[in-house]
Amino acid sequence: MYDCIIIGAGPAGGTAAYHLAKRGRSVLVLEKESLPRYKPCGGGVSPAITQWFDFDFSPAISVKVDSLRFTWKLEDPVEAKIGIKEPVWMVRRHVFDHFLVQQAQKQGAELKDYTEVTGIEFQGDYWQVNTANGSVTGHYLIAADGAKGPMAKWLGFKDRKRRLAGALEAEVPAEVINNNMAYFEFGLLKNGYIWNFPKADGYSIGVGTFIGGEPQDFKKILDDYAKSFNLDVKTTKQYGHPICLWNGNQKLHTQNAVLAGEAACVVDPFTAEGIRPSIFSGVLAAQFIHDALSGDINALENYTQAINEQWGTDMAWAQKLAGTFYRFPSIGYKVGVKRPSGAQIMGKILCGELRYGDVVGRALKRLIPGFGG
């Protein structure tokens, strides 16, 4: 009987496992893939996550980015140093996620990878988790099985305010020229943006739409954009995947279980940043499940409240900005991105040094004359 069983070995699951095991709790992580496993993702990580850990992430970082380059239909470029304390990390997710789980294992957490969960049953005061390799039991569950995982539905979260975005990504091996610069293109895609993030041995190029709208030919858009870097994405595998954006406050706990990471829909609805919020949810999930195991009967309810207050409040501002910026992107580019401070502000938001609530009111006034007054 484990204190906690965590389903999913991504950033949320690995983080929760690390912090629970460090507190002396018995933890089992179940992962359906064999680790390390590929995960389509741009791989930008805010260095602000170091505040939640006491080990060095250097082995998991591919390169560091201190500059951003924005374009509108491949023209009208804006380049800027971000001006943050520590450059943004660029990681390969198979390396980063596995590294995090390995730190949890060093604290005593157990891992069973290549073990798919086939069902769950609540047995009065503990969970029985059925897998293809037999059953395991635990007092508490953390469902961190991502955007496509079945755990939320099995736990009864049928009415969640899920807001799905779509993305297509390719990893292109190449000799990287400026490995300290990340690229963002806003004009070629409706309702989102294109990114090109450097790694030590190539680029992660992707397209993502965040507010819905008419269908678009992602493959052609990705191909056209890659050609501007003399890259051919047709020769590499492309991965389509959903992204679970934050869509308002919601209940994230049930009987002896919580949702974390993309299963909890914590992705930033403006930038689509998912790793930092997933890790943050893992930190809080570990804290409140530890409290529950210590006898606090309100602990899981407090988890929902903490996520809604500490993450959701700022995401409400991000949602307002996304709804306006992606509907009027040419105006957003002119009055937002092209402002001298625009790149620095975006970089600081990506790194957690600035909150949306600090800047979005002013930004919306520029985008929508008369907003808020």
- Nearest CA to 257 out of 159, 143, 116, 123 is that of 143
Topology given in CATH for the domain delimited by 2-320: FAD/NAD(P)-binding domain (3.50.50)
pLDDT of residue 17: 99
Chain centroid, CA 177 distance in Å: 27
Q: Which two tokens stand for residue 111?
A: 């891992």
Residue 286, number of CB atoms within 10 A of its CB: 29
pLDDT of residue 363: 73
User: For residue range 225-235, what is the model confidence (pLDDT) as tens digits?
Assistant: 999 999 999 99
pLDDT of residue 373: 37
Task: Yes or no: say if 267 and 319 are a contact pair by the CB < 8 Å rule.
Answer: no
DSSP secondary structure letter of residue 149: -
Point out the residues of the chain with pLDDT beneath 70.
366-373
- Nearest CA to 292 out of 122, 126, 112, 98 is that of 126
- Nearest CA to 99 out of 57, 63, 64 is that of 57
CA distance 272 to 359: 18
- Nearest CA to 23 out of 307, 303, 296, 289 is that of 289
pLDDT of residue 163: 86
Q: Which two tokens stand for residue 334?
A: 């002119």
Q: Which two tokens stand for residue 296?
A: 């606090």
CA distance 80 to 9: 35
- Nearest CA to 272 out of 284, 262, 264, 259 is that of 262
The model's pTM is: 0.95
pLDDT of residue 367: 66
Task: Yes or no: say if 360 and 57 are a contact pair by the CB < 8 Å rule.
Answer: no
Task: Yes or no: say if 137 and 1 are a contact pair by the CB < 8 Å rule.
Answer: yes
CA distance 184 to 6: 35
- Nearest CA to 2 out of 30, 18, 23, 25 is that of 25
